[in-house]
């Protein structure tokens, strides 16, 4: 690969008169006063070539089209009209030799920053979409972020180990992808939802410090920030406490932000307990780039429709300017997020307005809520404290967008700790593990009282309102693990079939251990400032779970299905 | 993780009188003259603890059993009886505090070098098997090898990029694993046999230099060195020649052997064409740690049973000592490897013996074959040159074992180049691509003559007789790719359905490109000197494709099958 002398983002006025040998794609071709100018693009940048009419390759140059692949030899000369947008903008290459390496049909999407094709078209031609400099940047940054994380973990003595993709179905949590076995018809492997159990077995095996950039799979309906397969930085360590894992994660994020974005992240991160986060921000992953704290009012409200409701408050400075329409949207948001409604109070020069104005005395309200003229007081309510909080939390988030409270390039890191061990699943109508069934309870947990009040050794790391990682200290005692499965309502037989090996493994001298998993895709999204997860994945699926480029999933040959026992019959029928 | 002061392989006489804080597993406990001695093991090594009868933890120490997990504080003192096998063998820790972190049931396999359990038992308790220092070493070396490879590739400007695991079935080559789609019943994703097409699309997309430590999947019956899933170092680059990829691979292997084993590998590696390798060694992956070259005899043989056969020769110096039984075994080997038999001639002091002795004159034979007393001449035969060669190649390999021709810690690197583009598959009764259908032909290839004579831009790298990698320069022209599929007998419709997207992709300005894939599992086997692939994989499947530890594949809930459309019916039936 030494053949070429420079990449297309390296030549400057310092290289004048040098003989150079370049290659790349024709990004643009112009014909000006008899001269042919070519913008030659590679993964680094653009260099301008110029071909004169007396050149024997002039004819070839005239016939070049966008995205043709060429190589060129020539001499670096100074440009007449400089382009200070480009690093190479002061020079151009006077071409002496030109070779066409491959031609290109008319390109169906524009390979430039400002392509406006439908996402569907861009995904179908993903290999062309990825030629766009912006898209290249997403993946190149993704690699830089991955390497920075790896470097820190290796520096701290972690081993990078693999775990199987063909695993076992243990249907706790999301749906498994199944892989039919050819040798054992009717039996299946399952793709891992995470390497959770494998990494715990690495701890049982005594490796003490493990990590992996791991592919994980969940057969769930896709939301805008979800994919069928995703990548997590999977970490586990033995003989550690919650503080150790928190410190390690801070080290990883601090060095990664410094290496990749040259941003100094202050450590330790802020911390909130789950209860505090709910109380102050109505969320278990609050965005701390803006304030807007929820609060309670300790006076009795004499408001008929709020009788028997839990009522929570949010004061928005200068929020009175929000339009009727915007307030209606906020009300919708509250209702979509477990709230029963949203009432409000606007503080004007000498009176209150808004749906609650008739219930409040001006002076009392101004004093109690510390209202200034132009402020807005939002009142959320529901039948439970958690629901009222969450509904106002969602309103808070939307307010930040409506009021432009978020500055670009601002990163706010937060730990949320002391999560409940269990939560009630309305969907499954039973108690489920909030984190996962391998999470340990706090040391002094009281299992004789209400289980939902038990706190876990579980922690989430949050950036700008996105949960980018979560972990826990695990159960390392065999009996405790068995008890946990029983509390979750699993029958003895099911426990044995699904998790018997784990319960046995824990009985042979398992060290205390814990870990965390960071969502790499989401971290890259945050660090590259995109809201579309498909931007940071080279070959993503659509929200309909399809690969539009290759066309998968697809029908297969009957012979394949017969071999797997998925269809009965004779292939020659 | 700062809490512990040292690992168990670090304290020496230089640390005398230091207060230390250690943790680990009880590898051994002895009770000598009232004192309790404990060998404390962690991932680094062993340190001896001593607990005196007057210590308040003495009772606890007395009750310790193998594989209990403990932590201990104490003072470093000099040992009375030193153990120069251990780095820490001159000291011991006089324990002041002892904490039991977890106990352990009776361990079903011995956690030591000399465990003799059945492999089946070891795989069932893999998490304990992996506690054995030898097994830990395999995986730790695997990580070191992976990091060394990665480092060199990053240094050379390659991006480490991911590719999807949920891909598309394109049944060329081995069998695909299928993943049923829940949203589209009857349709499937497929697990990738390699990221081949994705990495070529990265080249189409203009990234120029890609690599990945990639999981690959083949649903084939397992041999001793195969697994359902395996890991390859997957590499692709644009604007490169065969020489560039060869040089890159040599750089990777040279730096990796130096970093991990401190072995200096001479570059460039030896090279043989495929034809030379077949002619001299009867193999496309010859082991060059020993000589034993095959040769031809240019005189007419007047041997009735060799009439109309291709006959090839192998001289074994001092081979006459091989027993009748050993010669019979070699004959078996020849016959199992496409040969029709094995004849031989032993040179004794004044006569020839062996099955061919009556056909040869002593003096002529001694002169023509340069025989010394004690030499053995082996004669292989078949109806084709290739078959006769391969049968003797297999005999050659077995001879090296029988005659102890292989020195330990010897590594012989080799390139085999100029492979045929096509080969005839007896199984499929048609022409198939020898490497894969994306491989390009040599520049001057003549497609009007016999196709099997066309040579490919394909190359394999071989260490000690194992193919550890193979690659090629790819077809980058859309029409050529289409022609290749047609030559392979694919119908227009099939080409379009399976590879339409690739043929289209190649038409939009695809640079010349090529690459290689190195088998990581096999490379680690060679570098750690084991013949069992399951040694270098943390959680392997058996040769029956089962995970004995977790018990997969397994039956799943009917509900899961119904959701995937694999069974018809109502889950409540």
Mean pLDDT of the region A62-68:
96
The residue with tokens 């590499």 is B235
Cα(B39)–Cα(B89) distance, rounded to whole angstroms? 11
How many Å separate Cα B36 from the centre of its chain?
45
Residue B254: inside a domain, yes or no?
A: yes
Summarised one tens digit per residue, pLDDT across range A92-105 is 999 999 999 999 99
Could you write out the DSSP letters of every residue in B482-545? HHHHHHTT--HHHHHHHHHHHHHHTTBTPPPEEEEEEEHHHHHHHHHT-S-GGGGSSS---TTS
List the B341-347 sheet strands across, edge first. B294-295, B310-316, B376-382, B341-347, B352-353
Summarised one tens digit per residue, pLDDT across range B360-381 is 999 999 999 999 999 999 999 9
Output the pLDDT for position B158.
Answer: 98
Question: Where in the sequence is the domain holding B189, given as residue range(s)?
Answer: 136-271+413-536
Say if residues B145 and B567 touch (Cβ distance below 8 Å). Answer: no
H-helix or E-strand spanning residue A126:
helix A126-129
pLDDT at position A369 over 70: yes
Residues B561, B564, B569, B573: is their CA dihedral positive or negative? positive
Mean pLDDT of chain B: 94
Nearest to A159 among B140, B169, B197 (CB): B140
Percent of chain A predicted with pLDDT > 70 = 98
Cα(B438)–Cα(B66) distance, rounded to whole angstroms? 56
List the A376-382 sheet strands across, edge first. A294-295, A310-316, A376-382, A341-347, A352-353
Output the pLDDT for position A204.
Answer: 98
pLDDT at position B1 over 70: no
**Do A225 and A309 lie in a common domain?**
no
Cα(A202)–Cα(B34) distance, rounded to whole angstroms? 36
pTM of the model: 0.96
Residue A407: inside a domain, yes or no?
A: no
**Do A436 and A505 lie in a common domain?**
yes
Residue A431: inside a domain, yes or no?
A: yes
**Do A348 and A235 lie in a common domain?**
no
pLDDT at position A224 over 90: no
Residue of chain A whose alpha carbon sits nearest to that of B498: A550
Summarised one tens digit per residue, pLDDT across range B499-543 is 999 999 999 999 999 999 999 999 999 999 999 999 999 999 999
Residue A3: inside a domain, yes or no?
A: no
Output the pLDDT for position B249.
Answer: 98
Residue A25 in contact with partner chain B when CB distance is under 8 A: yes
Residue A123: inside a domain, yes or no?
A: no
What's the number of CA atoms in the CB half-sphere (13 Å) around residue A360? Answer: 25
Output the pLDDT for position A572.
Answer: 47
Please identify, among B402, B437, B454, the residue that sits at the C-terminal boundary of a domain: B402
Percent of chain B predicted with pLDDT > 90 = 86
Helix axes A274-281, A385-402, angle to 10 degrees: 60
Mean pLDDT of the region A220-244:
91
ipTM reported for the complex, 2 dp: 0.95
How many Å separate Cα B143 from the centre of its chain?
15
Summarised one tens digit per residue, pLDDT across range B457-485 is 999 999 999 999 999 999 999 999 999 99
**Do A396 and A301 lie in a common domain?**
yes
Summarised one tens digit per residue, pLDDT across range A382-398 is 999 999 999 999 999 99
Residues B300, B305, B308, B309: is their CA dihedral positive or negative? negative
Q: Domain with B67 in it: what CATH number?
A: 2.40.50.140
Residue A44: inside a domain, yes or no?
A: yes
Mean pLDDT of the region A8-25:
97
pLDDT at position A255 over 70: yes
pLDDT at position A1 over 80: no
Which of A550, A516, A454, A456 lies closest to A195, judged by CA?
A: A516
Mean pLDDT of chain A: 94
Residue A230 in contact with partner chain B when CB distance is under 8 A: no
**Do B318 and B244 lie in a common domain?**
no
Output the pLDDT for position A3.
Answer: 84
Mean pLDDT of the region A228-255:
97
Cα(B178)–Cα(B226) distance, rounded to whole angstroms? 19
More confident residue, B119 or A312: A312
Contacts of B541 in chain A (CB under 8 A): 164, 166
Residue A126 in contact with partner chain B when CB distance is under 8 A: yes
Contacts of B201 in chain A (CB under 8 A): 126-127, 539, 549
Which whole-number Å values give the CA distances from A148 to A152, A253, A254, B234, in the listed order?
A: 6, 9, 10, 21
**Do B340 and B421 lie in a common domain?**
no
pLDDT at position A120 over 60: yes
Helix, strand, coil in percent for chain A, rounding step 5: 30, 25, 45
Output the pLDDT for position B573.
Answer: 40
Say if residues B210 and B159 touch (Cβ distance below 8 Å). Answer: yes
Q: Check A42 against B163: CB less than 8 A apart.
A: no
Say if residues B187 and A169 touch (Cβ distance below 8 Å). Answer: no
Residue B180 in contact with partner chain A when CB distance is under 8 A: yes
- Local confidence band at B2 (pLDDT 50, 70, 90 cut-offs): low
Mean pLDDT of the region A20-30:
96
Residue B568: inside a domain, yes or no?
A: no
Nearest to B1 among A244, A556, A563 (CB): A244
Mean pLDDT of the region B553-569:
89
First to last CA, chain A: 54
Reduce the DSSP state of residue A356 to 3 states and report it: coil
pLDDT at position B236 over 80: yes
H helices within A156-273, ranges in order? 196-204, 242-261
Could you write out the DSSP letters of every residue in B26-44? EEEEEEETTEEEEEEE-SS
For A206, residues 6+ apart whose C-beta sits below 8 A from its C-beta are A238, A511, B25, B41, B42, B43, B130, B131, B136
Domains in chain B, number: 3
**Do B224 and B310 lie in a common domain?**
no
Mutate one of A130, A143, A501, A553 to test the B interface: name it (highest B CB count within 10 A): A553
* Class of residue A30 by CB neighbours under 10 A (exposed 0-12, middle 13-18, buried 19+): exposed
Summarised one tens digit per residue, pLDDT across range B90-136 is 999 999 999 999 999 999 988 876 767 888 999 999 999 999 999 99
What's the number of CA atoms in the CB half-sphere (13 Å) around residue A418? Answer: 11
The residue with tokens 């784990």 is A502
**Do B92 and B175 lie in a common domain?**
no
The minimum CA-CA distance between B187 and chain A, rounded to whole Å, is 5
**Do A375 and A308 lie in a common domain?**
yes
Summarised one tens digit per residue, pLDDT across range B256-299 is 999 999 999 999 999 999 999 999 999 999 999 999 999 999 88
More confident residue, A150 or B308: A150
The minimum CA-CA distance between B333 and chain A, rounded to whole Å, is 29
Residue A443: inside a domain, yes or no?
A: yes
Please identify, among B80, B102, B124, the residue that sits at the C-terminal boundary of a domain: B102
Cα(A377)–Cα(A398) distance, rounded to whole angstroms? 15
The minimum CA-CA distance between B295 and chain A, rounded to whole Å, is 39
The minimum CA-CA distance between A142 and chain B, rounded to whole Å, is 8
H-helix or E-strand spanning residue A30:
strand A19-32
What's phi and psi for A94, nearest 5 deg? -80, 110
Which whole-number Å values give the CA distances from B250 to B159, B213, B410, B430, B461, in the listed order?
A: 19, 18, 17, 35, 9
The minimum CA-CA distance between B56 and chain A, rounded to whole Å, is 23
Q: Domain with A256 in it: what CATH number?
A: 3.30.930.10
**Do A227 and A157 lie in a common domain?**
yes
**Do A259 and A323 lie in a common domain?**
no
Residue of chain A whose alpha carbon sits nearest to that of B129: A205
Residue A107 in contact with partner chain B when CB distance is under 8 A: yes
Output the pLDDT for position B116.
Answer: 77
Cα(B456)–Cα(B433) distance, rounded to whole angstroms? 10
């Amino acid at each position: 690969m030494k053949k070429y002398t420079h990449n297309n983002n390296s030549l400057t006025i310092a290289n004048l008169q040098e003989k150079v040998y370049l290659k790349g794609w024709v990004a643009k071709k112009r014909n000006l006063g008899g001269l042919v100018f070519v913008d030659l693009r590679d993964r680094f940048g653009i260099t301008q070539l110029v071909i004169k009419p007396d050149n024997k390759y002039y004819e070839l140059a005239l016939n070049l089209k966008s995205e043709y692949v060429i190589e060129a030899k020539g001499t670096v000369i100074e440009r007449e009209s400089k382009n200070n947008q480009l690093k190479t903008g002061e020079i151009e290459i006077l071409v002496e030799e030109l070779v066409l390496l491959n031609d290109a049909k008319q390109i169906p999407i524009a390979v430039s920053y400002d392509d406006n094709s439908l996402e569907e078209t861009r995904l179908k031609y993903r290999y062309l979409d990825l030629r766009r400099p912006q898209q290249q940047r997403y993946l190149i940054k993704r690699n830089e972020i991955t390497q920075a994380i790896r470097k820190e973990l290796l520096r701290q003595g972690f081993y990078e180990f693999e775990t199987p993709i063909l695993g076992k179905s243990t249907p706790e949590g999301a749906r498994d992808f199944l892989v039919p076995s050819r040798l054992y018809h009717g039996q299946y492997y399952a793709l891992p939802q995470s390497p959770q159990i494998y990494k715990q077995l690495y701890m049982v095996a005594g490796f003490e410090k493990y990590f992996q950039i791991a592919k994980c799979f969940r057969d769930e309906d896709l939301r805008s920030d979800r994919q069928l397969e995703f990548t997590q930085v999977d970490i586990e360590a033995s003989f550690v406490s919650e503080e150790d894992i928190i410190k390690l994660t801070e080290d990883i994020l601090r060095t990664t932000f410094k290496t990749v974005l040259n941003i100094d992240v202050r450590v330790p991160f802020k911390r909130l307990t789950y209860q505090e986060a709910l109380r102050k921000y109505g969320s278990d992953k609050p965005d701390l780039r803006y304030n807007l704290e929820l609060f309670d009012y300790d006076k009795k409200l004499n408001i008929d429709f709020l009788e028997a409701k839990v009522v929570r408050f949010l004061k928005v400075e200068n929020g009175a300017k929000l339009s009727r329409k915007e307030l209606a949207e906020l009300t919708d948001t509250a209702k979509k997020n477990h709230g029963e409604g949203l009432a409000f109070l606007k503080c004007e020069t000498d009176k209150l307005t808004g749906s609650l104005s008739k219930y409040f005395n001006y002076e009392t309200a101004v004093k109690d809520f510390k209202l200034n003229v132009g402020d807005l007081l939002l009142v959320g309510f529901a039948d439970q404290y958690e629901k009222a909080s969450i509904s106002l939390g969602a309103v808070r988030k939307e307010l930040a967008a409506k009021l432009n409270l978020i500055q670009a390039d601002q990163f706010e890191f937060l730990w949320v700790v002391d999560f409940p061990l269990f939560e009630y699943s309305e969907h499954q109508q039973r108690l489920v593990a909030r984190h996962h069934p391998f999470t340990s309870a706090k040391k002094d947990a009281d299992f004789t009282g209400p289980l939902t009040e038990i706190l876990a050794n579980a922690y989430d790391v949050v950036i700008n309102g996105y949960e980018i990682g979560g972990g826990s200290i695990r159960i390392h005692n065999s009996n405790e693990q068995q008890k946990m499965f029983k509390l979750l309502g699993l029958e003895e037989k099911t426990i044995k079939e699904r998790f018997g090996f784990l319960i046995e493994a824990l009985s042979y001298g398992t060290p205390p251990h814990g870990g965390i998993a960071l969502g790499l895709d989401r971290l890259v999204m945050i660090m590259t400032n995109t809201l579309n997860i498909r931007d940071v994945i080279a070959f993503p699926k659509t929200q309909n779970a399809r690969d539009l480029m290759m066309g998968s999933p697809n029908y297969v040959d009957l012979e394949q299905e017969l071999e797997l026992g998925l269809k009965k019959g004779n292939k020659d029928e």
